[in-house]
Amino acid sequence: MSQKLTRENLIECGLDKSTSDRLLARINPLLASLSAAACWREISQTILSPDHPFALHQLLHNTVFADWTGVAAPAWFPTENEIEGTNIAAVMRELNLNSYEALHSWSAHRRTDFWRLMIEKLEIQFHRKFSEVVDLSQGDEFPRWLVDARLNIVESCFNAPSSTTAIVCQSEDSPLSTMTYGELNALSNRIANGLVDAGFQPGDPIAVDMPMHTESVAIYLGIIKAGGIVISIADSFAPDEIQMRLHIANAKGIFTQDYIRRSSKQLPLYAKVVDANAPKAIVFSRENELLIELRNNDLTWEGFLSDSDEFDAVSCEPHDYTNILFSSGTTGEPKAIPWTQTTPIKCAADAYLHHDIQSGDVLAWPTNLGWMMGPWLIYASLINQTTIALYDGTATEREFGKFVQNAPVTMLGVVPSIVRAWKNTDCMKGLDWRAIKAFSSTGECSNSEDMLFLMSLAGYRPIIEYCGGTEIGGGYLTGTTIQPAAPATLTTPALGLDIVICDEDGQPTDNGEVFVTPPSIGLSTELLNKDHHEVYFEGTPQLPKQSPLRRHGDGVERLADGYYRIHGRVDDTMNLGGIKISSAEIEAVLNAVNGIQEVAAIALPPPDGGPSQLVIYAVLLPGADTGSLHASLQSAIREHLNPLFRIHDVIVADALPRTASNKIMRRILRDERSN
């Protein structure tokens, strides 16, 4: 390497003269003598620290990789010892495979053997063992997994010794608390018995509209243990959205709480549930007593809980529902996606393999049960016999970072917009995150600068980009801890499945729309309120010697050096703050605002990459007030959709572009705005 730095370079990053000289004496010899990979490994592990200005981290990374021939410059390289200690390496040794590529090929071509191996590794418990892993007599689109088996997947969440810590939890302004596997099992049993005592039956859909904390995890497990079906509802939703989901899933009851505490503010939750005309509610409170009046027939948490902490889990078929989650498509009503008794196996397998979750790990992911990463976190942690770390508070503030430090978290999951907030405020400076072994990122397109910043907070640990969806039960494109990690890129299709990238003519390409090749445990086979075949399979490319391709809707690019990059949605669905929503849902709300003739909603990545920004094109009625337009539209979204959705810009248009069949051509608006 011919690069050399000067004192002035380091002073511009915020260092003083003496510190600059001291670092230069160590850095320049490395730049002169080592390969880029070896040089960065040495600099990132022995010279740089989280206390150095991030500008210095950027400068050194850019300098080391200035002559890098690859498209993506890694910021973490695994050592041989690190590779040898991974779950993936152990599987490769067991199968006598000498490369990761060989392992992925084996998993994609021998899916029956792959899932049999995962079921063994994860110690999935059965009341009656399966006679065959999968029956494909109805084709790859409609597999029947674990034929003839009987199970309750919650029992596989309690294989760890009862004294092992299952959850470490903290609420704002409260100390850390822990719950063992034995205590969590007992509480979930009390909840299951309470459901029976309250008259609920196996197969009843029961909603959970609560933040993630110890009790909500126990509620989730207790409902499924009793043979019920969890209806996942995000605690940020407005009453209209709550009511829609309750109706679609035919809810028989709902668990909620009186208030949510955020930044010392009390935000009403039970009141929103009442406004949504919810069925019978069981109401939890963080306080010593409930300070609100309940509707007739609603129950307090204390009045609901059974005294009995013994319960025999209801035996179920593999295809029986455990959870109904929602993911928006291109029409106004969200897709209702059922998870079955087998879907959690996908969650746990992705954690075991791609996130390398092992005994003693502590997993944190700011999320809630309304989004797939809430249930994913439960199964990824508990089936792998590790600890869930839950912070009931605001993840963008320093107190969350202290929780990560004190838990101590070993695998931290994020949404990219959270990382950007940390970077912009520098609120995590000075915290000790050395316990972290890996990060993971999902929900939005990542920005390489933000992801480099994230890696720097823990002394450079890998980020496992994790791209998937509710209807997959996990990821289809991701990374591993045995491959170099380049910020904001992915390295591999998930083990156990494969992908094909196609152009607009349906031919394989390196930059286009991605399709998943079924079958795989985790992939949905039905929707409650839409035609599953039409949504995922109708009109997909037909390739020779290829099983039917399954649509997912993401734009993906395979880079020249083998990495992958996500380019967001190719349809009219968008990710805002990690929450998937359709243009149609937003437009239906905004079209009802006074002065609006019609609107079109699009999402665009910022020029430097990262989370999508919501842009509204508005056609106004004569005499409409343009001065308060932005505020009016934002208020409607806050009241009827989600206060987390922020409008980046409003553009007044004379008309919207339409097809011959009168459909809004949002792609033209996206292209126009991008240019």
In one-letter notation, the amino acid at residue 34 is: L
Task: Note the pLDDT tens digit of each residue in 328-363.
Answer: 644 468 899 999 999 999 999 999 999 999 999 999
Question: 661 pLDDT exceeds 50?
Answer: no
Higher pLDDT residue, 352 or 581?
Answer: 352
What's the confidence (pLDDT) of residue 666?
A: 79
Least confident of 13-17, 384-388, 555-559, 655-659: 655-659
**Cβ contact 278:305 at 8 Å:** no
Using the Cα atoms of residue 53, residue 54, residue 55 and residue 58 in order, give the sign of their dihedral: positive
Q: In which residue are the tokens 């920005």 written?
A: 447
Task: Note the pLDDT tens digit of each residue in 81-113.
Answer: 999 999 999 999 999 999 999 999 999 999 999
Nearest residue to 552 (alpha-carbon basis) of 264, 337, 397, 247 = 337
Question: 468 pLDDT exceeds 80?
Answer: yes
Task: Note the pLDDT tens digit of each residue in 306-328.
Answer: 999 999 999 999 999 999 999 86
Instruction: Give mean pLDDT, residues 356-381.
Output: 96
C-alpha distance from residue 388 to each of 156, 278, 366, 480 (Å): 15, 30, 11, 21
Which of 285-299, 399-413, 572-586 has the highest mean predicted lDDT (pLDDT)?
Answer: 399-413
* Alpha-carbon gap, residue 510 to 68, rounded angstroms: 21
Task: Convert 88-154 into a string of H (helix), E (strand) and C (coil).
Answer: HHHHHHHHCCCCHHHHHHHHHHCHHHHHHHHHHHCCCCCCECCCEEEECCCCCCCCEEEECCEECHH
Specify whether the backbone of 638 is left (phi greater than 0), alpha (psi in -120 to 50) or beta.
alpha
pLDDT, averaged across the chain? 93
For the beta carbon of residue 45, count every other beta carbon within 10 angstroms: 13
**Cβ contact 375:231 at 8 Å:** no
What's the confidence (pLDDT) of residue 670?
A: 82
Instruction: Give mean pLDDT, residues 382-391.
Output: 98
Q: What tokens were used for 95?
A: 């199968």
What's the confidence (pLDDT) of residue 332?
A: 60
What's the confidence (pLDDT) of residue 659?
A: 53
Q: If pLDDT is split at 50, 70 and 90, which confidence band does 669 have?
A: confident
* Alpha-carbon gap, residue 157 to 154, rounded angstroms: 5
Least confident of 209-223, 301-315, 580-594: 580-594
Q: In which residue are the tokens 């039960």 written?
A: 473
What's the confidence (pLDDT) of residue 641?
A: 86
Q: If pLDDT is split at 50, 70 and 90, which confidence band does 675 have?
A: low
Task: Note the pLDDT tens digit of each residue in 56-77.
Answer: 999 999 999 999 988 999 999 9
What's the confidence (pLDDT) of residue 650?
A: 94
Set out the domains of the chain in order of their start, with CATH numbers. Answer: 7-64 (no CATH), 154-536 (3.40.50.12780), 573-674 (3.30.300.30)
What's the confidence (pLDDT) of residue 328?
A: 64
What's the confidence (pLDDT) of residue 606?
A: 78
What's the confidence (pLDDT) of residue 306?
A: 98
CB-based contacts of 38, cutoff 8 Å, min separation 6: none
What's the confidence (pLDDT) of residue 110?
A: 97
Q: If pLDDT is split at 50, 70 and 90, which confidence band does 420 have?
A: confident
Question: 180 pLDDT exceeds 60?
Answer: yes
What's the confidence (pLDDT) of residue 658?
A: 66
Question: 610 pLDDT exceeds 80?
Answer: no
What's the confidence (pLDDT) of residue 68?
A: 93
Rg (CA), the chain: 25
Q: If pLDDT is split at 50, 70 and 90, which confidence band does 660 have?
A: very low
The share of the chain scoring above pLDDT 70, in percent, equals: 97
Least confident of 352-356, 368-372, 490-494, 660-664: 660-664
